[in-house]
Amino acid sequence: MEPPKKIPAHSEPLPQLSRRERQIMDAIYRLGQATAAEVMQSIPEPPSYSAVRALLRVLEGKGHLTHREQGPRYVYRPTMARENARRSALERLIETFFGGSTEQAFAALLDLSAPRLSDAELERISRRIEEARKEGK
- pLDDT exceeds cutoff 60 at 7: no
What φ, ψ does residue 31 adopt, rounded to 5°? -85, -20
Q: Report the 10 Å Cβ neighbour count for 80.
A: 21
Sequence-separated (6 or more) residues with CB below 8 Å from residue 7: 77, 78, 79, 80, 81
Output the CA torsion 19→23→25→30 (10° steps): 150
Structural class in CATH, domain 1-97: mainly alpha
Helices (H), 32-81: 36-42, 49-61
pTM for the structure as a whole: 0.65
Write down the domain spans for the chain.
Answer: 1-97, 101-137
Q: Give Rg (Cα) of the chain.
A: 18
Mean pLDDT over 13-17 rounds to 67
Kindly list the distances between the CA atom of residue 88 and the CA atoms of 38, 48, 76, 111, in Å, as whole numbers in the listed order. Answer: 26, 30, 21, 23
Task: Determine the pLDDT at residue 57.
Answer: 97
56 or 137, higher pLDDT: 56
